[in-house]
């Protein structure tokens, strides 16, 4: 069973001023997709706090990290910078697919600075901050991401031989 960590970056959720809905939606969806939830954390939008959690997940060898929040233009939106500080290799197609999907729904999607990438055997994906957008995004990316994880974890071999 593949493992997943969910990281919510939100000052208001961290301070108890607002209930987290997007992170809880990720947990619900990933449980239904037969992933083992290794961690669900809410941190402030602080760059150091986010980076520390992401590094912790990598060190724990969690297969997939799904983040929500902190990808916009606010001075406190630090998720992309924290992710870039941790990953070794970007996986730009994932973030591009999410933006493409979201742009068809709202033109404001072009303001997303979300990134995705790999560190060791962990794939980190920045998802949007709203529950609705999280659900829509996971619906689009889950199948290709599962295949990517199989490759990353050495569970898929000779993938190109099946392409016609």
pLDDT in tens, 101-154: 999 999 999 999 999 999 999 999 999 999 999 999 999 999 999 999 999 999
* The model scores a pTM over 0.75: yes
The dotted CATH code for 3-162 is: 3.40.980.10
pLDDT tens per residue, range 70-116: 999 999 999 999 999 999 999 999 999 999 999 999 999 999 999 99
Q: Measured between alpha carbons, how far is 78 from 114 in angstroms, rounded to an integer?
A: 10
| Per-domain residue ranges of the chain | 3-162
pLDDT band at 164 (very low <50, low <70, confident <90, very high): low
Alpha helices per DSSP H over 33-105: 47-59, 79-86, 92-105
Q: What are phi and psi of 130, to 5 degrees?
A: -95, 150
- Nearest 5°: phi and psi at 158? 50, 45
């Amino acid at each position: 069973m593949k493992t997943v960590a969910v990281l919510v970056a939100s000052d208001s959720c961290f301070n108890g001023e607002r209930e987290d809905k997007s992170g809880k939606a990720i947990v619900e969806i990933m449980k239904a997709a037969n992933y083992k939830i290794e961690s669900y954390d809410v941190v402030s939008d602080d760059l150091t706090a986010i980076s520390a959690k992401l590094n912790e997940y990598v060190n724990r060898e969690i297969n997939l990290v799904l983040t929500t929040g902190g990808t916009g233009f606010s001075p406190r939106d630090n998720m992309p910078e924290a992710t870039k500080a941790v990953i070794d290799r970007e996986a730009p197609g994932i973030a591009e697919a999410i933006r493409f999907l979201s742009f068809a729904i709202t033109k404001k999607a072009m303001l997303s600075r979300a990134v995705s990438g790999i560190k060791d055997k962990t794939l980190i994906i920045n998802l949007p901050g709203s529950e609705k957008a999280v659900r829509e995004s996971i619906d689009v990316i889950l199948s290709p991401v599962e295949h990517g994880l199989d490759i990353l974890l050495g569970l898929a071999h000779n993938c190109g031989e099946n392409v016609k």
